[in-house]
């Protein structure tokens, strides 16, 4: 079974038919998806701009990153669940859309980056870390999540 067959199967599944055919279902799921994005974007900006020394400078960056990471995980789970349902409704369109694959690739890279690189680094005391490394991690983090969000928005335009 190839990938296209999987996507067609998903769109023709009861979930896909429900999302596609039932009135405002897609729009309602998208509202929750976008709310998830606002939380995820907020946690990424709070953590990374703090690491860059731009915002929340009166709060230790360890405190900001620890607090934000809990909300980041909750937002990411929300995005993955609602994203799956949204995909089910338009799976065939997404399969042929270049920006969908950009989004999926950068999303995977972003998740691996957060859980395998960024978080293991940030659980250490930030005062013991090289400030340049922290700034580099913050810039990479903001950049990757911006591409995920931008390519996601572009799926709707293309």
- Does position 149 interact with other proteins (CB under 8 A)? The reply is no
- State how far the Cα of 157 lies from the Cα of 139, in Å rounded to an integer: 27
- Does position 104 interact with other proteins (CB under 8 A)? The reply is no
Q: Could you give the angle at the alpha carbon of 108 between the alpha carbons of 102 and 110, nearest 5°?
A: 95
- State how far the Cα of 88 lies from the Cα of 18, in Å rounded to an integer: 9
- Does position 108 interact with other proteins (CB under 8 A)? The reply is no
Q: How far is the CB of 100 from other proteins (least distance, A)?
A: 15
Q: How far is the CB of 153 from other proteins (least distance, A)?
A: 13
Cβ neighbours of 147 (radius 10 Å): 17
List helix spans (H) across 2-128.
Answer: 3-12, 14-21, 25-51, 61-89, 91-95, 98-112, 119-122
Q: How far is the CB of 121 from other proteins (least distance, A)?
A: 5
With CB under 8 A as the contact rule, the residue among 63, 136, 153, 158 that binds other proteins is 136
Residues that bind other proteins (CB under 8 A): 102, 109, 113, 117-118, 120-121, 124, 128-130, 132-133, 136-137, 139-141, 143-144, 147
């Amino acid at each position: 079974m190839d990938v296209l067959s999987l996507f067609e199967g998903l769109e023709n599944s009861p979930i896909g038919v429900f999302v596609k055919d039932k009135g405002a279902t897609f729009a309602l799921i998208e509202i929750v998806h976008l709310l998830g994005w606002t939380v995820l974007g907020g946690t990424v900006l709070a953590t990374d701009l703090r690491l860059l020394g731009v915002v929340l400078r009166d709060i230790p960056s360890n405190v900001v990153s620890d607090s934000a990471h809990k909300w980041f995980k909750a937002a990411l789970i929300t995005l993955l669940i609602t994203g799956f349902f949204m995909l089910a409704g338009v799976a065939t369109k997404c399969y042929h859309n270049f920006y969908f694959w950009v989004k999926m690739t950068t999303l995977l890279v972003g998740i691996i980056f957060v859980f395998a690189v960024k978080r293991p680094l940030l659980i250490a005391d930030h005062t013991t870390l090289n400030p340049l490394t922290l700034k580099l991690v913050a810039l990479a983090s903001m950049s990757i999540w911006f591409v995920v969000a931008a390519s996601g928005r572009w799926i709707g335009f293309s």
